[in-house]
């Protein structure tokens, strides 16, 4: 009897003897994983609301971008390293390490006395955050078969969506307080991570006992260093390029260093082969290669859309950061509904390719519709519909793309494959956010100038300009200063807050200009996502495995130990191999 048949017959007779976990055990482990992911997801959004207050307090308004850039760079680079190390040493120690580093980074952030210190401490936070996202999804792959995995992945997206709403609210509330118990209000944004992180540490340490198959290894430290050399300058220019100038001397220096670093990284990965940080053999799989490219593009569209919509809500509709968090609920609801639905259907039918096809199509359609329909006067209820449509598309893509690469790759590569998927999506998100926001702010001066020209034929606008009471009101002074400079938009690009206080008739041309620039970016996002739609059609749908990652890894190890080709193992031998690595305790739920 072949190994495969032996495994199948044994699993049917004794469904729990081979290390498969019960639904209750899985949910217990997921509690710890979700707490860890919630930490990283919340931190990405909670700081964005408060960064202006933090920068004012630390006297570094012009340096505020570094606090975000530092976190982004370290978390992106650390992601594939966690995946590779967890394949070698096991998931639990690496996940505990990631949580611990994140907690330490959060504590140090509260002691920052300058923006540069805060950026350094945020970089430490990012090193921890890089492992929280990827390892949580990797561990899920270890304990749940692909056929069942999609319905659990919906919980991760629910956490992601919840944090995107709670983050701006918590950040706004805490940063709005001068002090809390004698500590600056904004410093509590980082302190709230500590109890959540400690709880996650306790839960993970108690319940997470994922089987691990030991393997010989070399650690690709040279590859990790060259990846950093290649990505740090490119991520730096992606974040700072708009201020520096895309063709400035500093920009070209970043391009050059990044290109050399990435070339050396590829050379080293080829040298290290299976021990590489990102084994190049993975790209021989058409599924991995295509899904990776699709993931980058979807990441660009996802983060680009999520960055653009709050800009529209806050600048054009005058929503506060807290209000814009609530107004994004339709998008979050769309993500959650779609991810849960697609997960349940995947579990029942074993089919998954249809969901990213429909998902990307919905995202493209939402962007195209918003290009034609969104303007300064659009009612919020209509915008809610389009945001929900975009969210439904995202929910059908995010978890399914991860599932596809996990299912198509060897179980021994679960960590590096999942981390790579997360890494490329984050990379796409960084590029998308930088590119699309750059397009907005580079086109808005011309759009505002055109709006001012069109406003000359608007009786309401002309009446406001000629009204002596309007001209004498001090709150309208920024408008007339801009008008004196020929409707120069440089001032409003640095501080758009006055648009919510001046006479609405005077603000209208500025709002139209911003709206037109953002809408222009929607159609560019749609065009990029259309490429992903074409590529996802060519992704080969492989049958979903019915074994968990840990079980599949054990089978691979057993087959490797069987010796030369043609030597088979008995059902008893394979069952014994599974039982030997099965988790002995899974907390209280194991009873």
Classify burial at 430, counting beta carbons within 10 Å of its beta carbon; exposed 0-12, middle 13-18, buried 19 or more: buried
pTM of the model: 0.78
Residues recorded for the chain: 591
Of 435-444, 452-461, 492-501, 518-527, minimum mean pLDDT range:
492-501
Is 552 part of any domain? Answer: no
What is the pLDDT confidence band of residue 357, given thresholds at 50, 70 and 90? very high
Q: Does residue 356 have a pLDDT over 90?
A: yes
- Non-local (6+) Cβ contacts of 180 within 8 A are 174, 188
Is the same domain home to 303 and 181?
A: no
Is 9 part of any domain? Answer: no
Is 588 part of any domain? Answer: no
Is the same domain home to 390 and 523?
A: yes
Residues of the chain above pLDDT 70, percent? 82
User: Considering its fold, how many domains does the chain have in total?
Assistant: 2
> For residue range 371-396, what is the model confidence (pLDDT) as tens digits?
999 998 899 999 999 999 999 998 88
CATH code at position 415? 1.20.1250.20
Is the same domain home to 63 and 163?
A: yes
Is the same domain home to 208 and 301?
A: no
Cα–Cα nearest to 376, from 518, 491, 488, 506: 518
> For residue range 524-566, what is the model confidence (pLDDT) as tens digits?
999 999 999 999 999 988 888 766 666 666 666 666 666 554 4
Structure tokens at 591: 């009873």
Is 231 part of any domain? Answer: no
Cα–Cα nearest to 85, from 205, 214, 219: 219
325: domain range?
278-546
CA dihedral 536, 540, 545, 550 (to 10 degrees): -70
Is 541 part of any domain? Answer: yes
Is the same domain home to 192 and 324?
A: no
SS3 552: helix
State which of 525, 546, 567 marks the end of a domain. Answer: 546
Q: Does residue 437 have a pLDDT over 60?
A: yes
Mean per-residue pLDDT of the chain? 79
Is the same domain home to 203 and 301?
A: no
CA dihedral 112, 113, 118, 120 (to 10 degrees): -90
- Asked if residue 38 lies in contact with residue 159, where contact means CB atoms within 8 angstroms, the answer is yes
Is 518 part of any domain? Answer: yes
Per-residue DSSP letter, 183: E
SS (H, E, C) 158-171: HHHHHHHHHHHHHH
State which of 216, 234, 257 marks the end of a domain. Answer: 216
SS3 503: coil
What is the structure's pLDDT at 314? 80
Q: Tally helices (H) and strands (E) across the chain.
A: 23, 2
SS (H, E, C) 307-356: HHHHHHHHHHCCCCHHHHHHHCHHHHHHHHHHHHHHHHHHHHHCCCCHHH
d(CA 189, CA 334): 28
What is the pLDDT confidence band of residue 11, given thresholds at 50, 70 and 90? very low
Is the same domain home to 169 and 309?
A: no
d(CA 444, CA 520): 10
> For residue range 463-501, what is the model confidence (pLDDT) as tens digits?
888 888 888 888 877 777 766 655 555 555 555 667 777
State which of 514, 530, 546 marks the end of a domain. Answer: 546
d(CA 261, CA 470): 58
Is the same domain home to 76 and 171?
A: yes
What is the structure's pLDDT at 492? 56
Residue with tokens 């609405």, as numbered in its chain: 504
**β-strand partners of 86:** none
Is the same domain home to 339 and 421?
A: yes
Is the same domain home to 195 and 81?
A: yes
Show the DSSP H helices in 59-145 as ranges: 64-89, 91-109, 115-143
Is 578 part of any domain? Answer: no
Cα–Cα nearest to 133, from 353, 500, 424: 424
Is 242 part of any domain? Answer: no
- Asked if residue 153 lies in contact with residue 345, where contact means CB atoms within 8 angstroms, the answer is no
d(CA 495, CA 504): 17
Q: Does residue 43 have a pLDDT over 70?
A: yes
For the chain, give the longest Cα–Cα distance: 95
b/e code 67-95 from CB counts within 10 Å (16+ = b): bbbbbbbbbbbbbbbbbbbbbbbbbbebb
b/e code 161-176 from CB counts within 10 Å (16+ = b): bebbbbbbbbbbebbe
Mean pLDDT over 163-191 rounds to 80
Is the same domain home to 59 and 190?
A: yes
Is the same domain home to 50 and 194?
A: yes
């Amino acid at each position: 009897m072949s190994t495969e048949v032996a495994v199948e017959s044994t699993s049917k007779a004794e469904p729990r003897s081979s290390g498969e976990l019960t639904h209750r055990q899985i949910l217990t482990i997921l509690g710890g994983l979700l707490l860890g992911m919630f930490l990283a997801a919340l931190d990405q959004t909670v700081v964005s609301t408060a960064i202006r207050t933090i920068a004012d307090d630390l006297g570094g308004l012009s340096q505020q971008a570094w606090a975000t850039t530092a976190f982004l760079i370290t978390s992106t680079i650390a992601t594939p390293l966690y995946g590779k190390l967890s394949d070698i040493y096991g998931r639990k120690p690496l996940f505990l390490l990631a949580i611990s580093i994140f907690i330490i980074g959060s504590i140090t952030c509260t002691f920052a006395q300058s923006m540069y210190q805060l950026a350094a401490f945020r970089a430490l936070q990012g090193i921890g955050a890089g492992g929280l996202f990827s390892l949580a999804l990797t561990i899920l792959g270890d304990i749940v078969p692909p056929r069942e995995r999609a319905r659990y992945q919906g919980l991760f997206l629910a956490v992601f969506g919840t944090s995107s709403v709670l983050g701006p609210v918590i950040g706004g509330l805490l940063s709005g307080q001068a002090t809390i118990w004698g500590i600056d209000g904004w410093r509590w944004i980082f302190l709230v991570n500590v109890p959540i992180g400690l709880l996650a540490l306790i839960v993970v340490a108690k319940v997470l006992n994922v089987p691990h198959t030991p393997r010989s290894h070399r650690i690709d430290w040279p590859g990790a260093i060259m990846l950093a050399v290649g990505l740090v300058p490119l991520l730096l220019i992606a974040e700072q390029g708009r201020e520096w100038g895309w063709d400035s001397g500093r920009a070209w220096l970043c391009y050059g260093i990044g290109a050399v670093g990435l070339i050396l990284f590829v050379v080293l990965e080829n040298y290290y082969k299976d021990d590489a940080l990102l084994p190049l053999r993975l790209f021989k799989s058409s599924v991995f290669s295509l899904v990776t490219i699709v993931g980058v593009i979807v990441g660009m569209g996802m983060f680009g859309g999520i960055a653009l919509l709050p800009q529209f809500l806050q600048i054009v509709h005058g929503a506060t950061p807290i209000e814009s968090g609530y107004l994004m609920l339709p998008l979050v609801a769309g993500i959650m509904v779609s991810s849960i639905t697609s997960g349940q259907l995947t579990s029942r039918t074993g089919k998954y390719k249809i969901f990213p096809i429909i998902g990307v199509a919905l995202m493209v359609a939402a962007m195209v519709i918003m290009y034609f329909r969104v303007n300064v006067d659009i009612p919020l209820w209509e915008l809610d519909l389009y945001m929900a449509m975009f969210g439904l598309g995202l929910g059908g893509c995010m978890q399914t793309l991860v599932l596809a690469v996990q299912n198509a790759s060897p179980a021994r590569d679960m960590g590096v494959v999942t981390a790579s998927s997360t890494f490329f999506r984050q990379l796409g998100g960084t590029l998308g956010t930088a590119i699309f926001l750059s397009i907005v702010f580079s086109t808005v001066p011309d759009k505002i100038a055109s709006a001012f020209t069109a406003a000359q034929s608007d009786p309401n606008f002309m009446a406001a300009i000629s009204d002596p009471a309007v001209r004498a009101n001090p709150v309208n002074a920024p408008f007339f200063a801009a008008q004196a400079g020929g409707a120069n938009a440089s001032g409003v690009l640095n501080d758009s807050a006055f648009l919510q206080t001046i006479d609405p008739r005077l603000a209208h041309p500025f709002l139209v200009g911003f709206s037109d620039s953002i809408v222009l970016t929607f159609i560019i996002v749609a065009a990029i996502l259309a490429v992903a739609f074409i590529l996802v059609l060519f992704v080969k749908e492989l049958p979903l495995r019915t074994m968990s990652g840990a079980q599949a890894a054990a089978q691979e190890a057993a087959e490797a130990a069987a010796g030369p080709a043609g030597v088979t193992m008995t059902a008893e031998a394979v069952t014994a191999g599974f039982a030997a690595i099965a988790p002995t305790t899974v907390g209280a739920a194991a009873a």
